[in-house]
């Protein structure tokens, strides 16, 4: 398994370009199953989760092609037919977002067998709301031998309210509802930018969706969808991770190709901690303005409490990275994780590097500032790995991070991007 070897203590300087959002690309690739025509996606990030979903598409008998473009990959998917409506355990266990093929398969082909994703390091990750919503749309759902068996003779529009806000739950049901007969109203829906970007793609494919980005999404079913072309939004979590990298190393980093409206909570929290962030709006192409955010680490970071919340609140996917930053801030900061029940595994590894963190249930108290010293560490999940990279960049001496396949799932060549702005980090291949 690959490892990262980092020598810390070097302020990062320069500019990094952000890749397309993994968590938008995944549902948008699944959306291609809703039509027999070609769907072309640009700015697809070169990360492992995308390759995993392409392998799953192959399993289904759906062709896809990838071409390298200046900014990310161009992925074309054409689901002319379905040879095998099975999403096997071997693939789904690698990436629980595989469950996103369920809604489109049931809506378009009337049946699907998808392995239950099972839990992961950060929590039980149930999909009960995905299934409850599909049943309310008229699908028959059976669970047998660890698989979801879904059948439908034609979905019917319904009003469905989510007991808890679910990002992929909202995405799955929104996709299924595009081909249902009649109108569907999703209440207590997720407002994440990735949900909005998916709705934009679906509407380009001929769907009739209103309200994406709010808690109430209305979908009027149509008989079929057609192919289209779409550029994926920037990855707000990658962008925020690099802003923290500037702050934690006391450097000055320009993060290019960013959508600032996706980062208001993070930018506000970093400003509270003393990080100076300037925004330069630059037109990229005719229709869209992407910005460059420049973050400058202060000499003294201030402790600032944070509570993770659904969008537009502070994202849970930035909690681990923020915890690493707070180990370098003066004072005590309280970090409350409201989304997942077990998302503090990185605290144990940070403590081995010298951090002073007390975890109690969904609350962690970080007592800073504590100098960090390099150590051998173990990555447990995607964002915990990013937290360890950030800590390694700030630590004195060498940090070795094992199991970096976790980070490869969601960050495109992070060691290359970091090296280009002055970090001393290299990938050590090995068993």
- Among positions 211-270, residues that touch ligand EPZ (CB under 6 A) are none
**By C-alpha distance, which of 307, 238, 297, 291 is closest to 271?**
297
Q: Does 125 bind ligand EPZ (CB under 6 A)?
A: yes
- Provide, rounded to whole angstroms, the least separation between the CB of residue 238 and ligand EPZ: 10
Of the candidate spans 126-134, 173-181, 265-273, 294-302, the one that interacts with ligand EPZ by CB under 6 A turns out to be 126-134
Peptide bond into 312 cis (omega under 30): yes
Cβ distance to ligand EPZ smaller for residue 196 or 294? 196
The C-alpha atoms of residue 67 and residue 44 are separated, in whole angstroms, by 10
| Residue owning tokens 């793609």 | 201
Residues forming a β-bridge with 159: 185
Pick from 340, 374, 408, 415 the residue near ligand EPZ by CB under 6 A: 340
- Among positions 128-187, residues that touch ligand EPZ (CB under 6 A) are 128-130, 164, 166-169
Secondary structure letter of residue 409 according to DSSP: T
Pick from 9, 88, 118, 126 the residue near ligand EPZ by CB under 6 A: 126
H or E element, residue 82: none
Draw the binding track, 23-52, toward ligand EPZ (x: CB under 6 A; -: no contact): x--x--------------------------
Draw the binding track, 380-399, toward ligand EPZ (x: CB under 6 A; -: no contact): --xx----------------
- Provide, rounded to whole angstroms, the least separation between the CB of residue 169 and ligand EPZ: 5
**By C-alpha distance, which of 55, 147, 137 is closest to 104?**
137
Draw the binding track, 54-83, toward ligand EPZ (x: CB under 6 A; -: no contact): ------------------------------
What are the distances in angstroms from CA 51 to CA 56, 64, 78, 409? 9, 11, 16, 9
The C-alpha atoms of residue 141 and residue 149 are separated, in whole angstroms, by 6
Cβ distance to ligand EPZ smaller for residue 158 or 294? 158
- 124, burial (CB in 10 Å: exposed 0-12, middle 13-18, buried 19+): exposed
Q: Is 211 a catalytic residue?
A: no
Query: How many amino acids of this chain bind ligand EPZ (CB under 6 A)?
Result: 22
- By DSSP bridging, strand 228-231 and strand 63-69 are unpaired
Give the CA-trace dihedral at 177, 180, 183, 186, to 10 degrees. -20
- Provide, rounded to whole angstroms, the least separation between the CB of residue 97 and ligand EPZ: 4
Cβ distance to ligand EPZ smaller for residue 61 or 313? 313
Cβ distance to ligand EPZ smaller for residue 165 or 326? 165
- Determine phi and psi for 210, rounding to 5 degrees: -130, 150
Cβ distance to ligand EPZ smaller for residue 64 or 319? 319
The C-alpha atoms of residue 185 and residue 220 are separated, in whole angstroms, by 9
Are 157 and 196 contacting, i.e. CB atoms less than 8 angstroms apart? no
Q: Does 20 bind ligand EPZ (CB under 6 A)?
A: no
Cβ distance to ligand EPZ smaller for residue 321 or 399? 321
Q: Does 313 bind ligand EPZ (CB under 6 A)?
A: no
| N-term to C-term CA, the chain | 5
Pick from 123, 206, 312, 313 the residue near ligand EPZ by CB under 6 A: 123
- Catalytic residue from among 120, 284, 332, 400: 120
Pick from 52, 158, 200, 316 the residue near ligand EPZ by CB under 6 A: 316
Pick from 30, 410, 417, 425 the residue near ligand EPZ by CB under 6 A: 410
- Among positions 78-107, residues that touch ligand EPZ (CB under 6 A) are 97
Cα angle: 46, vertex 127, 307; to 5 degrees: 75
Q: Does 18 bind ligand EPZ (CB under 6 A)?
A: no
The C-alpha atoms of residue 54 and residue 114 are separated, in whole angstroms, by 15
- Provide, rounded to whole angstroms, the least separation between the CB of residue 378 and ligand EPZ: 18
Cβ distance to ligand EPZ smaller for residue 10 or 130? 130
Residues 6+ apart with CB under 8 A from 218: 183, 184, 185, 186, 209, 210, 211
The C-alpha atoms of residue 73 and residue 43 are separated, in whole angstroms, by 6
Of the candidate spans 68-76, 79-87, 124-132, 213-221, the one that interacts with ligand EPZ by CB under 6 A turns out to be 124-132
Instruction: Render 5-24 in DSSP notation, one character per residue.
Output: EEE-----EEEEE--B-HHH
Joined together, the tokens standing for residue 203 give 């509407």
Would you please indicate which residues are annotated as catalytic (active-site) residues? 120
Kindly list the residues in this chain that would bind ligand EPZ in the complex (CB under 6 A): 23, 26, 97, 123, 125-130, 164, 166-169, 316-317, 339-340, 382-383, 410
């Amino acid at each position: 398994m690959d490892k990262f070897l980092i020598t810390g203590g070097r302020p990062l300087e320069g500019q990094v370009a952000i890749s397309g959002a993994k968590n938008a690309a995944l549902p948008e690739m699944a959306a291609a199953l809703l039509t027999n025509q070609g769907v072309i996606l640009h700015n697809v990030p070169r990360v492992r989760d995308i390759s995993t979903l392409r392998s799953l598409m192959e399993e289904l008998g759906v062709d896809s092609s990838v071409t390298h473009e200046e900014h990310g990959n161009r992925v074309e998917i054409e689901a002319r037919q379905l040879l095998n409506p099975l999403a096997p355990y071997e693939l789904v266990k690698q990436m629980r977002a595989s469950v996103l093929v369920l809604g489109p398969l049931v809506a378009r082909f009337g049946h699907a067998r998808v392995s239950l994703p099972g839990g992961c390091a950060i929590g039980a990750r149930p999909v009960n709301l995905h299934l409850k919503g599909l049943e309310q749309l008229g699908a028959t759902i059976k669970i047998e031998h660890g698989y979801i068996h879904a059948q439908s003779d034609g979905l019917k529009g319904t009003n469905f309210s989510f007991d808890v806000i679910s990002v992929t739950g909202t995405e799955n049901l929104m996709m299924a509802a595009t081909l249902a007969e009649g109108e569907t109203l999703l209440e207590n829906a997720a407002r994440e930018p990735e949900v909005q970007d998916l709705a934009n793609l679906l509407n380009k494919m001929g769907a009739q969706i209103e309200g994406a980005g709010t808690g109430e999404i209305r979908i009027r079913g149509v008989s079929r969808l057609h192919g289209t072309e779409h550029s994926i939004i920037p990855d707000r979590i990658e962008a925020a991770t690099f802003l923290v990298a500037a702050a934690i190393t006391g450097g000055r980093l320009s993060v290019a190709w960013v959508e600032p409206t996706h980062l208001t909570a993070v930018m506000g929290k970093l400003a509270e901690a003393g990080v100076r962030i300037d925004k330069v709006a630059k037109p990229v192409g005719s229709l869209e303005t992407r910005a460059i955010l420049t973050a400058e680490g202060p000499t003294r970071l201030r402790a600032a409490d944070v509570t993770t919340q659904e969008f537009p609140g502070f994202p849970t996917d930035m909690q681990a990275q923020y915890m690493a930053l707070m180990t370098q801030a003066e004072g005590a900061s309280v970090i409350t994780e409201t989304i997942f029940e077990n998302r503090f595994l990185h605290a144990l590894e940070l403590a081995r590097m010298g951090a002073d963190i007390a975890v109690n249930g969904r609350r962690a108290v970080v007592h800073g500032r504590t100098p960090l010293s390099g150590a051998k560490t173990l990555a447990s999940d995607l964002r915990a790995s990013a937290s360890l990279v950030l800590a390694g960049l700030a630590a004195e001496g060498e940090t070795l991070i094992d199991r970096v396949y976790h980070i490869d799932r969601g960050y495109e060549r992070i060691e290359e991007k970091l090296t280009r702005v002055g970090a001393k980090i290299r990938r050590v291949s090995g068993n």
